[in-house]
Amino acid sequence: MKSKMAKLATNFLVLIALSLVINSVALAAMGGCAQKAAVTPTPGGGVAPPAPTTTTTPTAPTTPRAALDSLPSFSDVAARVTPAVVSIFTVQVPPSFFLQPTPQEGAGSGVIFDSKGYILTNNHVVEGATQLTVNLPDGRVFKGVKVIGRDPVTDLAVVKIEGQNLPSLPLGDSDKLRVGDWVVAVGNALALEGGPTLTVGVVSALGRSIQVPGEILHDLIQTDAPINPGNSGGPLVNLQGQVVGINTAIDVRGTGIGFAVSMTTAQPVVQQLMTTGRVVWPWIGVGVGPVTPALASELKLKVDKGVYVASVTRASPAAQAGLRQGDVIIRFESQEVATVRQLQEAIRRQKIGDRTRITFIRDGQEQTVTVTLEEMPRGL
């Protein structure tokens, strides 16, 4: 059972693979106004005399032009990044009630991260596709593209094309990101012809968790760089042209609220997909969320930090150990856990079959149980 808050959020979070081209364009202009200088009157009604001359070196006033000149050059980023950002076109044949299935076309993005032709994208871009076509900005088209592996848990997938002299981008370190850092989102926005679209923004927040259809995605980068339908699977890059995230979802309740899977999450997933074609996750079988002041107040929790257990899967390791919906996990083995990411990382460091102690708060009382980790079932 999902929490009421999770159900509500799911209705507004949209995965951004393009299944229908939107035939509309909006333009916006921004203007400003100048501020007049003021003269301070003296108490006697005259004008204050000029300040005495000092020996300090005067500094140039800050002007709009000077502020613009201090901005980084996104043109350099574009030149470095766009050759390795690909458009992915898919064909799916969904089941039909009338036994006459109609092929459906979709579009997304990806980034070549290895010159041997390996491309990182979203799972929801390629999942269920019967045909995959990859277009490069230099005009090359690759049909019959092979899916190396998919991971629904992190919404990531790796596909491969066979070609020569393929451009590629390095996978960066998203742990070095700070809120306010510049980032650039690149992708096949609205499946427009003529190559990738670049949009610019900043890192708005780090470590976000969101509910999307079928999954809860954790450790996401939130950005106000506009992310549009068709951008799914495209890279979020820093000013050095390094991939720090994979664009995956937008929240339609607001403006400029987009999310990307961090490279901290993606790097080990990519390694497993390239090695075995799948990702094996240790699993305890709980749906969780962060304890926020709003949640603590609404549910009258007796703690102000920890990981809230929103659901427990029937017959899962957590259920067998006695964890319940409404418990607040505060410790995994000897490690304090105050965030979903900390719990997630603690579990992923374990192996299948490990017996681990989980400490939680229930009805204001601290309790500890032992949970035996299992492999996450396929399809969850």
d(CA 90, CA 164): 23
d(CA 278, CA 92): 22
> Which amino acid makes up residue 293?
P
Question: What phi and psi values does residue 102 have, to the nearest 5 degrees?
Answer: -110, 120
CA distances (Å), origin 178, targets 113, 190, 370: 23, 29, 37
Of 374, 362, 365, the residue nearest 318 (C-alpha) = 374
In the numeric block, which tokens belong to residue 331?
């410790």
d(CA 259, CA 164): 33
**Cross-strand pairs, 25:** none
In degrees to the nearest 10, what's the CA dihedral of 13, 15, 19, 22? Answer: 50
**Tokens 């390094």 appear where?**
242
**Cross-strand pairs, 236:** 185, 245
DSSP annotation of 252 reads: T
Q: SS3 of 64, please?
A: helix
- Give, for 7, the enclosing helix (H) or strand (E): helix 4-10
- Which residue is catalytic, options 232, 262, 311, 316? 232
96 counts as catalytic: no
- Which residue is catalytic, options 3, 87, 109, 124? 124
d(CA 20, CA 190): 8
218 counts as catalytic: no
52-60 contacts at long range (C-beta below 8 A, 24 or more positions apart):
none
- Which residue is catalytic, options 3, 87, 155, 209? 155
Residues involved in catalysis:
124, 155, 232
